[in-house]
Structure 1
């Protein structure tokens, strides 16, 4: 109960601020309508209007919830859960590129980290470039990646996955380098006294010691991968995916659709990060590490 109460408090504060923001941002449009109609709105009528506009600047939470239900639960009830109007369908498209990019980024990140830890040349040369790569805005490089890959006949899922990989590999590299270097000098000396080979030291000491760092970086990488997948859908004129929903909503001024896609993306990220957390607890428990 002690852990739930702070979370509920934050959620309540967010909803109060959200509803208040909807009133503040949508009030001008409500006043303009009332002025043209020659009527004067009471406070109750003003609040009701700001929370029920078709294209508000900031939709109220219940409007977003209704849109999500209409494009998820209602679709499932009609047997059209994965139709192209369903958020489940668009979430699946984004999920596919997110997970592929995440897996590619994880493999690349772990491989670079091992090379950086075991090879001083890579440590001095590759690590600075890994850091420098993250200074380039992804919104600028994403169209370049898509155009180049389309030019060589690669389109669809892979270009978006590569953008996800570009964002997700960095936290994995940093986390794994820190984790592989976490064993103390005394532990490394003990492995030498046992005449352990570098590979044995890696598998028996360095890799197990890096697991907490790896899982922490994987959570960050997963969230970054989802952002990359959504960004990858924007410059392609994609017709499917949460990024496509955001783009369509912005074209037609459908702010409720935009916010419903944002909430769905946040929910998808929370679920994926939660799954990594579950795997982390199971893995560390089996390894005998307190968690």
Structure 2
């Protein structure tokens, strides 16, 4: 326990120093970037440096909001409005998370199925894998409007189009990781299963898939974060009324940088939460796997 505390202390000091330097630079930049606006519209002719600092750190529509303004705005949004209100950032976070999780599940199922197909067929390995890799060379900003227009023409709107964009970003890391993981069992293990005439399905469930779990969960952490980004990108061209991407869009329309930064902070916290959930599931699964 003491060793763990000492190690945590050694790691926390550099992190704290970097954080403090970052905050200091942020506040200095806020003064520099907001100064012109407050000098021309807020401050008296004989203003002092202290008045300048106070005014630049508390502008209602700053060019660069300060961290405490962002924290206050997020807190007020979450406490002064019902969770079901479009003014509450938790409401928008749930809308985005719902689509991201749906896309993550769809991408995970697709990625695992593609990996199973690829490892069992050399022909499909040569045919599919290059196209799977090439699919990620298309920027999501370019493909999102196309997918949304096509699905919209088919009458598919709402959650599913955003989930499809999230799936597009989620399936790739899971597919690549699962291909490596399903091929990871040693040759001796595979020969032993072959000697006992174990069926391909049993080999997959008893040997290949358990061996692939250490590859799967890191890919899932990457995929869930990518799916969140894809969901927010999908919310931009549709003019969505809800979601963190829609919140960013509204903030950009009205030049409300505080709204933009608040949505970005909540999106970051949501990403950390989702990856934390995946890490917790990984810990639980791998612990039971080792006991078994």
- Structure 1: which 5+ residue stretches go unaligned? none
Size of the aligned set, in residue pairs, is 284
Query: 2:104 is matched with which residue: 90, 96, 102?
Result: 102
After superposition, what is the alpha-carbon deviation per residue over 1:176-199, rounded to whole angstroms, capped at 9, x for unaligned?
A: 111111222232223223332322
User: Is 1:48 matched with 2:54?
Assistant: yes
**What pairs with 1:1-291 in structure 2 (closer than 5 Å)?**
1=5, 2-3=7-8, 5=12, 6-33=14-41, 39-75=45-81, 80-288=82-290
- Structure 1 residue 16, shift from structure 2 partner: 2.4
Q: Distance in 2 between matches of 1:178 and 1:22?
A: 47
- Structure 1 residue 281, shift from structure 2 partner: 0.3
Q: Residues 155 and 190 from structure 1, CA distance in 2 versus in 1: closer, same or farther, beyond 3 angstroms?
A: same
Stretches of 4+ aligned residues off by more than 4 angstroms: none
RMSD, aligned CA: 1.8
What is the TM-score when the length of structure 2 is the normalising length? 0.92
What is the TM-score when the length of structure 1 is the normalising length? 0.92
Q: Distance in 2 between matches of 1:238 and 1:54?
A: 26
Q: Residues 3 and 237 from structure 1, CA distance in 2 versus in 1: closer, same or farther, beyond 3 angstroms?
A: same
Between stretches 242-251 and 53-62, larger displacement belongs to 53-62
Q: Distance in 2 between matches of 1:274 and 1:242?
A: 20
- Structure 2: which 5+ residue stretches go unaligned? none
Q: Distance in 2 between matches of 1:190 and 1:42?
A: 81
After superposition, what is the alpha-carbon deviation per residue over 1:90-130, rounded to whole angstroms, capped at 9, x for unaligned?
A: 11111111111111000001111111111111110111111
